[in-house]
Amino acid sequence: MKRFLTYVTALVLVFACAKVPESIIPQEEEVPSTPEGPKLKGIYVTDSSISLESGGHATLHFRVEDPDCQFSELLLMGTDGKTPELFHLVSFEKSTESGHYVADIVNDSSDSYIRTAKLRVMTGEESYIDSQNFVVKGKGPRAGMVHTGLPVVFVDTQGGAAITSKEQYVSAKFSIVSEDAPQDYFPEVACSIRGRGNTTWEWPKKPYLVKLEEKASVFGFPEHKRWVLLANFMDRTMMRNMVAMKVSSMTRLAWTPRSQTVELVLNGKHVGNYLLIEQVRVDGDRVNIDKKDGYLLELDFHNDNTFQWKDHNIPFAVKHPDPDEPTELTQEKKTYIKNYIAEVSNVIYGSNFIDPVNGYAKYLDVDSFIDYWIVFEVMTNHELGNPGSVFMHKDKDGKLTAGPCWDFDWGVLTFDTTGGDRRLINRHAIWYDRLFQDPAFLQKTRDRIRELLPQLQTIPDYIDECEALLSESAKLNFKMWNPAEDASMNGGQIINGDERMTFHEAVARIKKNYNIHLQFVLGNL
């Protein structure tokens, strides 16, 4: 019996150590692999824009790159990545054509608006594919809406309050709608608004200063709170300021105010064509000087500034530091800037003014003064000699610098203000009468205007572009406003000489005058 158990145990060990054929070992059932399904490669909107009536629906057509792809979640997004508030996606379904779909979008607003949006397909919990952008235009009964091809600025004051003061602000809302350029859309924001200007505030068509509650970029310009709406009441061409800023932008001047011609709707009423333009302010993106120790000066014969004085019969006023804030424009700062201007003037009018070390070039940024003069001269702007709206600035430890250019709607591109004669309009303006006595300054100015000539010769084409841009706007503007009324503020004489012409006649006249005077300057400087 013992021998039998020993034999069985050995036999078990043999079988345990032996390799068992795989065929007799139970195998787990192999699951056949499933081929990977089609993946979404792209989504493309076939409509560049859709229009939505108030409370209405619109269909948006789109396609996917892989027609066999199946997806269940489609989102409608703003370009900021958020769900739009003014319209929403109701549903979508396949169309009869392979890979093509139709989305149903509904308008949730009764106002007019223009937005940019995109479709988003979720391909995973956190992954997605976006379409290209498309435009959604909401059509509503927006009071005062006009269609001239220009952006429309809407200003609605609180309770419809009138704007009657240049000092007191009125609370308001500010927005921009542009059907032809959706990128110019600006959402409604809080602001305050008041009147502005000197003589121009007396005209029937008023200019305004808008101060946004928060800094914002308007028309893609650098962010800021303060923006000006110039009325250009006496300018039959509606483009003198635009042309002047174009010329200024060609020069070495540190900053030229950026602008956009617009329609203005004030409290639901269209009030005409305006130029929305950056205000002259000390700021990193405007007059870029030290806010604490820099100075912005205006030469202005109106004598209505808080801190002003005359030096060699030239009126100076401080715009920055703020003259209404004693903690900013201190007595020490007032004394410093007055003494500095006196020192500059004494050197300019002194016997040694062209000395290369201690003459006027020690105090003036000469290149800026040359370019500033060229802009005023080719535009025949006599205000440099009045002077009015003439700006200079000085950075901390820097030289006195000319600019920026401002206010070119009065007596510009006309010979009426010179008695009809052909002459250099600003040859004797402010300090230039003395500076041009330096042969080096005169030669630098001659060389500079010839250097700029290829660009200056493009201005007539720019005038043509402005004429086409403003043509429809002019029809509406001059049904409301008569520029010839400016004679009542000018001793019975009209100011620019074209106020009684048609828009197109006035444009032809300034183009002709520009060409005539540019050639005269080249031949007589």
35, pLDDT greater than 60: no
Q: Is the pLDDT of residue 278 over 90?
A: yes
DSSP 8-class letter at 65: S
Across 423-433, average pLDDT: 95
Range ranked top by mean pLDDT from 112-126, 244-258, 407-421: 244-258
Residue 13, both tokens: 């060990």
* Cα separation values, 196 from 77, 164, 377, Å: 41, 10, 26
Name which of 372, 370, 369, 394 is nearest 381 in CA terms. 372
Residue 180 has pLDDT above 80, yes or no: no
Q: What is the structure's pLDDT at 12?
A: 38
How confident is the prediction for the chain on average, in pLDDT? Answer: 89
pLDDT at 505 over 90: yes
- How many whole angstroms separate alpha carbon 175 and alpha carbon 276? 12
pLDDT value of position 111: 73
* Residue range 76-97: mean pLDDT, rounded: 89
Mean pLDDT of 517-524: 95
The model's pTM is 0.79
> pLDDT tens digits for 206-264?
999 999 999 999 999 999 999 999 999 999 999 999 999 999 999 999 999 999 999 99
> Is the pLDDT score of 410 beyond 50?
yes
For residues 251 and 125, give the distance between their C-alpha atoms in angstroms, rounded to a whole number.
Answer: 54
Q: What region does 448 belong to: left with phi over 0, alpha with psi -120 to 50, or beta? A: alpha
Rounded CA separation 455/451 (Å): 9
Closest CA to 388 of 230, 197, 518: 197
| pLDDT the model gives residue 23 | 45
Residue 256: half-sphere exposure toward Cβ, Cα within 13 Å: 19
What is the domain partition of the chain in residue ranges?
43-139, 152-278, 295-524
Task: Write down the pLDDT at residue 299.
Answer: 97
DSSP secondary structure letters along 317-340: EEEES-TT-TTTS-HHHHHHHHHH
Q: When comparing pLDDT for 53 and 322, which is higher?
A: 322
Comparing 26 with 374, which gets the higher pLDDT? 374
pLDDT band at 66 (very low <50, low <70, confident <90, very high): confident
> Per residue in 133-146, pLDDT tens?
999 988 776 788 89
48-63 average pLDDT score: 86
Quote the pLDDT of residue 184.
Answer: 81
What is the CATH T-level fold of the domain 43-139, as seen in this structure?
Immunoglobulin-like (2.60.40)
The pLDDT tens digits for 348-396 are: 999 999 999 999 999 999 999 999 999 999 999 999 999 999 999 999 9
- Residue 125 confidence (pLDDT) above 50: yes
Tell me the average pLDDT across 107-121: 84
Q: What is the mean pLDDT of residues 153-167?
A: 96
Which pLDDT value is given to residue 417?
Answer: 59
- CB within 8 Å of 130: residues ≥ 6 apart: 43, 77, 118, 119, 120
User: Is 60 exceeded by the pLDDT of residue 419?
Assistant: no
pLDDT at 420: 58
Q: What percent of the chain has pLDDT over 90?
A: 69
Tens-place pLDDT, residues 298-319: 999 988 889 999 999 999 999 9
Does pLDDT of 24 surpass 80?
no
What local confidence, expressed as pLDDT, does residue 421 receive? Answer: 61
Distance of CA 500 to the CA centre of its chain: 32
What percentage of the chain has pLDDT greater than the value 70?
90
DSSP code at position 29:
P
3-class DSSP state of 9: helix
Does residue 195 register a pLDDT over 90? Answer: yes
